[in-house]
Amino acid sequence: MAEGEPRSLAETPTWSVATVMTGFVAICFIVERSIYRFGKWLKKTKRKAMLAALEKVREELMLLGLISLILSQTSRWISEICVPSSLFTSRFYICSEDDFEVVGGVSSLLNETQLVKSIFGSSTHTCSEGHEPFVSLEGLEQLHRFLFVLGITHVLYSFVTVVLSMIKIYSWTKWESQAYPLSNENLQAKRTKMLRRQSTFVFHHASHPWSKNKVLIWMLCFVRQFKGSIARSDYMALRQGFITYHKLPQSYDFHKYIVRSMDDYYSASVGISWPLWAYAIVCIFVNIHGLNIYFWLSFLPAILVMLVGTELQHVVAQLALEVVETVDPVGTHLKPRDDLFWFKNPDVLLWLIQFISFQNAFEMATFIWSMWQLGLHSCLMKNQFMVIIRLICGLSVQFWCSYSTLPLNVIITQMGSKCKKSLVSEHVRESLHKWCKRVRRKTQLARSLSVTSLDFTVDETEETLTVGTLSRTVSRTSLDDLGEIEAEAAVTDELLPDHN
């Protein structure tokens, strides 16, 4: 081996190779066992929505691992694809030629690092004159690291989002407990409290003069979103409207339903879907020097989160204005329906919130990657004032969206025409599924026995079969009735909990 050249694996001491292998295996084993035990705990506590979210995290890690494997194995082949140098115009560079000269005066040229030598070794392939590699080994390695940082950052942002949202949602527990005594009071007491809550709810959302104007009400709702997530009177009114519209008992635990809905949201939001991957690819393509596209995109989440907050406040205002026209208790006259939301689809707001979280994660991943791979003196970091504004804006919007907008969205989107499957808990749904399966098996077995009995013509045999069929039918009916009783008991426990 020549002096100064890197050692091959055959020329490396076995103890150093074994040490590195031990470190990698230990880290991977700890991460894998931690995920496994966390999933086991979620399964034990019957939180299937969170378990499904954990499975998506595993899929995300598997996808990142697959991307890493493919890039590491195909990088040399891709770098050996030569294309005419005329295709590589500075028009599509991230940095301008002047930026390269400035950076070169400080340290070294931006694209002349030691990544190729330290990771892949020296390449023996060179393109002919007038041609260059389609993507260099260095560029592929930097792309590899950017995708890895993006995936990890998005998972962490999703986790932080749910934690902050759950903190806000669990703060509503005291309001739910205050609503339970209504079911134990007489009719007049219930009506009095409902009317009091109705007047508070209507006063907050329909007393302002602008609320009567179809245009000014949007400006009013825009301002209201900055006063807080939701008030106690709003929670009580929305809870009563939901319970009345879906014909649930007054003792129904609406707060637990909101928590289960939040679990389902987390299950659906974790992971990067193909539209988000497509958006990331488009952002990378249009990131041309001079456009400052990342700077302007950093304000997109702020605009979207304010639009979503305004729309949610507008939905509540519409419900309150409808109550003004009536004199009965608020819960009786709230009219939940999909027409209140954009495109008559409450899920549109949830999709926008998911995009906001991804865009903020993309912004942070770009910053981390730029600092890691390109350094502080790169063209992406030369205007530090703009970078600081982007970071502060992204972090502030993510916190506001997680702690205020998302909890508000979870409860207000329940005012749609349909309720979610989380209306009942997981064990109740399992009991109902088991009972339905028993009913289907009973029906199929009864049909098969009816067809078989037609093949017997001997009276004695027919009599025996009839007695046996009746006996088995009675037994199956008894078992099915028992299953129905169990399912009914489970539903009763869910919808009529004991709050004493």
Length of the chain: 500
Q: Which residues pair with 131 in a beta bridge?
A: 84
**Nearby residues of 48 by Cβ (< 8 Å), 6 or more positions away:** 42, 426
* Least confident window among 8-12, 37-41, 218-222, 305-309: 8-12
Residue 20: pLDDT over 90: no
Residue 160: pLDDT over 80: yes
Q: Would you state the pLDDT for residue 98?
A: 64
Residue 476: pLDDT over 50: no
Residue 10: pLDDT over 60: yes
How confident is the model over 177-203, as pLDDT tens digits?
Answer: 887 655 555 655 666 666 666 667 777
Cα–Cα separations (whole angstroms), residue 362 to 225, 256, 341, 368: 26, 33, 28, 10
CA-based torsion, 18, 20, 26, 28: positive or negative: negative
Q: Would you state the pLDDT for residue 447?
A: 77
Spatial separation of the C-alpha atoms in residues 8 and 12, rounded to whole Å: 6
> Helix or strand or coil: residue 413?
helix
Kindly report the number of other CB atoms within 10 A of residue 499's CB atom.
13
What tokens does 322 get? 């409808």
What's the whole-number mean pLDDT along residues 459-486?
43
**Element of type H or E holding 132:** strand 131-133
Spatial separation of the C-alpha atoms in residues 178 and 250, rounded to whole Å: 12
What tokens does 340 get? 């209140």
Residue 112: pLDDT over 80: no
Q: Would you state the pLDDT for residue 309?
A: 92
DSSP assigned state of 214: T
Chain position carrying tokens 């260099």: 136
* Letter string b/e over residues 381-407, b meaning 16 or more CB atoms within 10 A of that residue's CB: eeeeeebeebeebbeebbebbbbbbbb
Spatial separation of the C-alpha atoms in residues 140 and 77, rounded to whole Å: 11
> Helix or strand or coil: residue 237?
helix
Between 292 and 156, residue with greater pLDDT: 156
CA nearest 496: which of 270, 184, 192?
Answer: 184
Structural Rg of the chain based on CA atoms: 31
Chain position carrying tokens 């939301």: 341
* Least confident window among 108-117, 256-265, 274-283: 108-117
Spatial separation of the C-alpha atoms in residues 492 and 55, rounded to whole Å: 32
DSSP string, 165-207: HHHHHHTTHHHHHHHGGGGGS-HHHHHHHHHHHHHHHHHHHH-
Cα–Cα separations (whole angstroms), residue 453 to 86, 392, 445, 461: 84, 78, 12, 10
Q: What is the pTM of this model?
A: 0.75
* Least confident window among 250-254, 303-307, 380-384, 469-473: 469-473
Number of H helices, E strands in the chain: 19, 2
Q: Would you state the pLDDT for residue 32?
A: 83
